[in-house]
Amino acid sequence: LEAKDVDLLMKGYLLVYLLPGLRPKLTSKRLMERVVRKASDAYFGWTDLLLWVEDLRATIHYEEQHGESPFSQSPETPMNFHSMAHLAGRISEQFGRYQDTECKVMKSALLDLEDDSKNDGRVPLRKFYSSHLEQGGTSNFAESRDYLRHLGALDETDPLRPSVIVPNYLYAPGNCVATSNFISVCCINQCVSLMDTLQAEIAETTAAPENILAIVSSLHSDTVAAPRELPSQLVTRLQEVAGRHQGVVPLHSRLFAQWMHHAFPNECPYPHPAGGLSGDMLMSIEEWNLHRNSTQAHRASEDEMLEIIAQTKDDARNLTSSIDAVEDMDEVLLPWLHQEEMLFDVFRQADGSLEHRNTPSQWALFLDLRAILRPIAMVAAIAAALFSMKGQGQAMLAARSYEESQSLPSWSRQPSTGRPPLCVMPIPHSEIDCS
């Protein structure tokens, strides 16, 4: 491939990766060039993204130098389909980490809005909207109350103090990019690394509460220092969970996930019961708007924001004075629902061993296979469109292989990808004309 074609092909791949709704539009080299020229309008970090991809290409070239002929005079190995597919695979593997930088900035902004000294993983809704209005309506934090409630990111335990749950908001579909029927690149769930450490130490699906307390008290996050002495209320809660399960705590249960939310309120999401406020199928921004026949249904209007700010400001002031006298702040600020649910069932056999049924571990291999096949199929489809003058058959074959790679069971997909994606980026990205 010539250098200019390699450049166009890779930019086309990046755009399709970020905006899957563009793929049916890139039917020729001319259309691809026109869309690429508008890329900076579609994705605010486009220039930085291209620099990252160039760094990644240089890294791959350095890693593969040992395979080149020592007599080669070329400073670079020419890019062919195999090398392009390899680069696309590396982008797919590492893009989540790159994109997570923006998620960390968003989390920092949310933490700045939390009430002083509480560190409860909650941002009062009035502060959430005030932040948006103070920045002239150009920032995040504009989702409507209904959409926040649907996402399970709205805590209405106390009607006088509705608040946004920080981790539930961060990990919601509205903050995902590269969303398609096949994959979504979302904010990295920081609770996963905490659970990984915990499970590596325990090496069982259940554990005695004292073992969990010893490990969790030594775990730290970017908002929780360690080692620490866990609050007495948190210790009591864990013992109550163990009391419901014959003296041990199931690590893959709703109640333990809720306990982890109390222990790390800014990192671990609050686990709503199945069919609860958020339901079982979370909608992306595009799906929510499509469902309500409006391109702005996910956003609260300025009048709605001002009304909520005015209603809750005085109530919040009164509430603050009333809870100052309460010693157990954990009980007041964080909801605890006693409803239990299990991720999978555990059965104790006659010999004392545990049998796990309906375990999701079988999904891992299948999901890894999808991650490998997706970038190769996408590069094939875009390359065929780029060189469509060689025949429409190549484009049809590549497109068909890409569609077949997406023919997956519904349970293996992200819950926010039930419909074909629209050509629109979620906040803070802007829209692009797909016509």
Q: What digits encode the pLDDT tens for the residues 243-263?
A: 999 999 999 999 999 999 999
Inter-CA distances, 303 with 117, 133, 307, 314, Å: 31, 11, 6, 18
The pLDDT of residue 397 is: 33
Inter-CA distances, 382 with 13, 85, 211, Å: 7, 11, 53
394 or 92, higher pLDDT? 92
Q: What is the pLDDT of residues 150-160, one digit of tens each?
A: 999 999 988 88
Q: What is the pLDDT of residues 78-107, one digit of tens each?
A: 667 777 888 888 887 888 888 888 889 899
**Mean pLDDT taken over the chain:** 74
Find the mean pLDDT for residues 220-233: 94
* 8 Å CB contact between 187 and 103: yes
Q: Where are the beta strands (DSSP E) in 73-213?
A: 122-124, 154-155, 163-165, 206-207
Handedness of CA 119, 187, 133, 294 (dihedral sign): negative
Radius of gyration of the chain (CA): 25
Whether the link from the prior residue into 227 is cis, omega within 30° of 0, is yes
The pLDDT of residue 101 is: 83
232 or 64, higher pLDDT? 232
CA-CA distance, 6 to 10, in Å (whole number)? 6
> Per-residue pLDDT for 164 more than 50?
yes
Q: How many residues does the chain have?
A: 435
